[in-house]
């Protein structure tokens, strides 16, 4: 059993609907879009296009589509791209046509999700491209926005990355504080091996001495935390293929190549979810 998954899933429809309902409720409250109501006739129709204003990778189409179709809006949506597609500046992403009030009242919610998730996918894709000549796989962490973990991890996979565990429930990851309380690396691993059942077990180390102790105690997956590329190479040599190796700790576009070239199997990057910039996507009304 492995702690990493990398297939691009289908987002559950009930999750998408709930997130959109919550976001629209936050935006509309009980009054709706008072600007459109005050400025635009109720029967007005409009055509609009969402376009990329920067280069990147697309993610979040299901959420944007659901926002425009919510509450029997009467809108028609046509997708011109798919999640995971590379975007050039000016690319058409989605066309929307129908009642102007419905279109404008869902615009910001749709763009917020599209921009946020596409930003994550784009940042992931840049790291994936930088390390493509190595065997290392880029993966995420639990450093996600509360309530949005599933869709943010989906965006990581749209960008070509992999998902680490989804929560505290689906894998054992023994970190430094667990080790401190349990009484050491060997004691923590022994307890996990006895009590975790079929769950995968990973242990974090930050020195080569700790790494050797973890291997001696039978570790099958080891997280090498905040090690330099040279230390990582030494760990790979010491490992001799015995354990799956993951590197983590302040990984950036500047440092990721050296880390990947050390020979580790995975590189976990919290920044791809907690620090990704929103991809610039805009909606324009067709007034031709």
Q: What is the pLDDT of residues 88-116, one digit of tens each?
A: 999 999 999 999 999 999 999 999 999 99
| DSSP state, residue 89 | T
Does residue 136 share a domain with residue 270? yes
Does residue 143 share a domain with residue 223? yes
202 as an active site residue: the answer is no
Q: Active site residue: 175, 237, 250, 286, which one?
A: 175
In a domain, 83, yes or no: yes
Query: What are the tokens at 254?
Result: 């500047």
Q: Active site residue: 54, 107, 204, 265, which one?
A: 204
Does residue 208 share a domain with residue 149? yes
Q: Active site residue: 143, 149, 190, 233, which one?
A: 143
204 as an active site residue: the answer is yes
What parts of the chain have a pLDDT lower than 50? 1
**Secondary structure of residue 93 in the 3-state scheme:** strand
In this structure, the dihedral spanned by the alpha carbons of residues 110, 116, 118 and 124, taken in order and rounded to 10 degrees, is -160
79 as an active site residue: the answer is no
140 as an active site residue: the answer is no
Q: In what order do the strands lie in the sheet with 76-79?
A: 76-79, 92-99, 45-52, 281-285
| DSSP state, residue 5 | B
CATH code of the domain containing 100:
3.90.1170.20
In a domain, 260, yes or no: yes
N-terminal to C-terminal alpha carbon distance within the chain: 57
Query: What are the tokens at 147?
Result: 């309530």
N residues, the chain = 288
Does residue 166 share a domain with residue 88? no
In a domain, 7, yes or no: no
In a domain, 234, yes or no: yes
User: Whose CA is closest to 63, among 7, 125, 121?
Assistant: 121
In a domain, 102, yes or no: yes
Does residue 208 share a domain with residue 157? yes
225 as an active site residue: the answer is yes
Query: What are the tokens at 180?
Result: 């401190």
Does residue 270 share a domain with residue 135? yes
Range(s) of the domain holding residue 261? 129-274
Q: So what's the pLDDT on residue 1?
A: 34
Does residue 165 share a domain with residue 49? no
Does residue 48 share a domain with residue 104? yes
Does residue 178 share a domain with residue 266? yes
In a domain, 237, yes or no: yes
CATH code of the domain containing 267:
3.20.20.70
Does residue 143 share a domain with residue 65? no
Residues 6+ apart with CB under 8 A from 180: none
In a domain, 8, yes or no: no
Does residue 133 share a domain with residue 23? no
User: In angstroms, rounded to a whole number, what is the distance separating the alpha carbons of residues 116 and 142?
Assistant: 17
What b-and-e string marks burial along 60-89, b requiring 16 or more CB atoms within 10 Å of the CB?
bbbbbbbbbbbeebebebebebebbbebee
User: Whose CA is closest to 210, among 243, 253, 167, 162?
Assistant: 243
Q: Active site residue: 53, 79, 108, 142, which one?
A: 108
Q: So what's the pLDDT on residue 38?
A: 97
The total number of structural domains in the chain stands at 2
User: In angstroms, rounded to a whole number, what is the distance separating the alpha carbons of residues 33 and 38?
Assistant: 9
Does residue 69 share a domain with residue 134? no
Counting Cβ atoms within 10 Å, is residue 59 exposed (0-12), middle (13-18) or buried (19+)?
Answer: buried
In a domain, 106, yes or no: yes
């Amino acid at each position: 059993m492995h702690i990493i998954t990398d297939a691009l899933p289908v987002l559950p429809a009930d999750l998408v609907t709930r997130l959109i309902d919550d976001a629209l409720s936050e935006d509309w409250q009980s009054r709706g879009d008072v600007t459109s109501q005050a400025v635009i006739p109720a029967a007005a129709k409009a055509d609009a296009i969402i376009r990329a204003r920067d280069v990147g990778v697309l993610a979040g189409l299901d959420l944007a589509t659901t926002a425009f179709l919510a509450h029997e809006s009467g809108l028609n949506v046509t997708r011109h791209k798919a999640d995971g597609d590379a975007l050039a500046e000016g690319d058409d992403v989605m066309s929307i046509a129908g009642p102007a009030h419905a279109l404008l009242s869902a615009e910001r919610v749709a763009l917020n999700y599209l921009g946020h998730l596409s930003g994550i996918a784009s940042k992931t894709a840049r790291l994936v491209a930088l390390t493509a000549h190595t065997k290392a796989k880029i993966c995420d962490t639990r450093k996600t926005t509360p309530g949005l973990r599933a869709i943010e991890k989906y965006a990581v996979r749209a960008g070509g990355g992999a998902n680490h565990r989804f929560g505290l429930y689906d894998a054992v990851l023994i970190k430094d504080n667990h080790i401190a309380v349990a009484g050491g690396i060997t004691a923590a691993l022994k307890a996990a091996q006895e009590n975790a059942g079929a769950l995968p077990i990973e242990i974090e180390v930050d020195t080569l001495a700790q790494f050797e102790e973890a291997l001696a105690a039978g570790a099958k997956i080891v997280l090498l935390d905040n090690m330099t590329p040279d230390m990582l190479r030494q760990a790979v040599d010491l490992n001799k293929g015995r354990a799956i190796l993951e590197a983590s700790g302040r990984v950036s576009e500047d440092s990721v190549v050296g880390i990947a070239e050390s020979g580790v199997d995975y590189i976990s990057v919290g920044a791809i979810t907690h620090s990704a910039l929103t991809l610039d996507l805009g909606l324009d009304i067709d007034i031709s």
